[in-house]
A and B are shown apart, each in its own frame.
Chain A
Amino acid sequence: MRRSVGTCAVAGVCLAFVITLALAVLDVAETPAQVDLPGLLSESMGKSGVEHPVTAVLLNFRSYDTLLEIGVLVIAGIAGISVSRTTSLEDPELRTTDTLLYALQRWFVPLMLVLAGYLLWAGADRPGGAFQAGAVLAATGVMMRLGGIPMDFLRPGTLLRLGLALGFAVFLLIALASAIGGGAFLAYPPAVAKQLIVLIETVLTLSIAMVLLALFVSAPVNRAEEPGEGESP
């Protein structure tokens, strides 16, 4: 009895929340925008270095957001890896005896790698970019993991740390370089804006893929014995 009264109360609160938010949305929809953001954007597109507006916003006009976002991803990756308890990254029970998955892997993994590269390159002037390419790359890694292929670069070590830190480090270096050079923080010199954006997107793709893959791989908890205090796993 008490439980259903509680549930009804929560339902009432959520309904009130939805109605208030809907009224707020309709109210905002009435008022005209104070700044014509799409107009401003299309005027400044020539100075950004790329032709696709979403990529220009992500990596040039609002690049600070992207810098913080990759920082958040690295922190999540570090936290996930440190909590997990994986005894082996070559879990024998994962190695598949399913011939269909084995055949699909041999076809799909190269195709997906090429697709990731295309998405990264196409982000300059059509929909695509670092995030989509990083996601496809992570999906390739997940498929390899599901088939039981041993992936040495995910073992805790130099390669993993390099992959995780590279995106954020390079992005931050470029941001600081322009600040040291006399301009504002994260202001690319317009002459080399395109090359800088390509470089940043490449390392961003690698880092995003590495973080997502590390978070996915570190999730399985084998039925391993817990090490005692002070022992290493």
Chain B
Amino acid sequence: MSASLLYALAGVVLCGIGLFGFITLAHLLRKLLAFNLIGSGVFLALVGLAQRHGEPDPVPQALVLTGIVVAIAATALAVVLIRRYFHLSGLTTLKPEIREDRAE
């Protein structure tokens, strides 16, 4: 077990934490933070697993560099959408659907 493999496993745990937060947290901005955590975990797992023998490997580093830039573009777009949603509806969470068959 080399140090890079430890980072890969840490990335996997980060994915799990992010996934749990993404599903359970209600506030949209916190869901966005959890989504970013999942992304960072995936990047760590990618690079850590490929470099498990210790030498730097340029190909996964290039892929993760692309991933970091795309992640911030997606985050910025999500922030625009969340703010627009807040501007129009005043809510910071998604409204639960009203189910027809439940007698409230």
A–B touch (CB < 8 A): the answer is yes
Partner of A21, one of B15, B74, B79: B15
A25–B65 CB distance below 8 A:
no
Q: Which residue of B lies closest to A40 (CB)?
A: B59
* B: interface residue count bin: 35 or more
A212 to nearest B CB, angstroms? 7
**A114 in the interface (beta carbon within 8 A):** no
- Secondary structure class of chain B's binding surface, majority of residues: helix
Q: If A7-B24, A18-B13, A37-B57 touch, does A65 touch B66 (CB 8 Å cutoff)? A: yes
Cβ–Cβ < 8 Å partners of A131 in chain B: 65-66, 68-69
B27 to nearest A CB, angstroms? 15
A221–B20 CB distance below 8 A:
no
A84–B49 CB distance below 8 A:
no
Could you tell me the distance between the alpha carbons of A45 and B3 in the complex, rounded to whole angstroms?
A: 28
Q: If A17-B16, A25-B12, A221-B87 touch, does A72 touch B62 (CB 8 Å cutoff)? A: no
A58–B65 CB distance below 8 A:
yes
**B91 in the interface (beta carbon within 8 A):** no
Cβ–Cβ < 8 Å partners of A10 in chain B: 20, 23-24
B8–A83 CB distance below 8 A:
no
Q: If A76-B76, A80-B76, A219-B76 touch, does A18 touch B15 (CB 8 Å cutoff)? A: yes
A215–B73 CB distance below 8 A:
yes
Cβ–Cβ < 8 Å partners of B58 in chain A: 38, 41, 53-54, 56-57
**A85 in the interface (beta carbon within 8 A):** yes
Q: Which residue of B lies closest to A221 (CB)?
A: B87
Could you tell me the distance between the alpha carbons of A42 and B36 in the complex, rounded to whole angstroms?
A: 33
* A: interface residue count bin: 35 or more
Cβ–Cβ < 8 Å partners of B93 in chain A: none
B63–A65 CB distance below 8 A:
yes
**B97 in the interface (beta carbon within 8 A):** no
Counting chain A CB atoms within 10 Å of each CB, the highest count among B13, B63, B83 belongs to B83
Q: If A72-B73, A76-B76 touch, does A85 touch B87 (CB 8 Å cutoff)? A: yes
Could you tell me the distance between the alpha carbons of A56 and B66 in the complex, rounded to whole angstroms?
A: 14
Cβ–Cβ < 8 Å partners of B16 in chain A: 14-15, 17-18, 21
Cβ–Cβ < 8 Å partners of A212 in chain B: 72-73, 76
Q: If A28-B49, A76-B77, A219-B79 touch, does A54 touch B61 (CB 8 Å cutoff)? A: yes
B23–A62 CB distance below 8 A:
no
Partner of B77, one of A38, A65, A80, A85: A80
**A29 in the interface (beta carbon within 8 A):** yes
8 A-B pairs with C-beta separation under 8 A: A10-B23, A15-B16, A83-B80, A85-B84, A208-B69, A215-B77, A215-B80, A216-B76
A contact set with B: CB distance below 8 Å = 7, 10-11, 14-15, 17-18, 21-22, 25-26, 28-29, 37-38, 41, 53-54, 56-58, 61-62, 65-66, 69, 72-73, 76-77, 79-80, 83-85, 131, 134-135, 208, 211-212, 215-216, 218-221
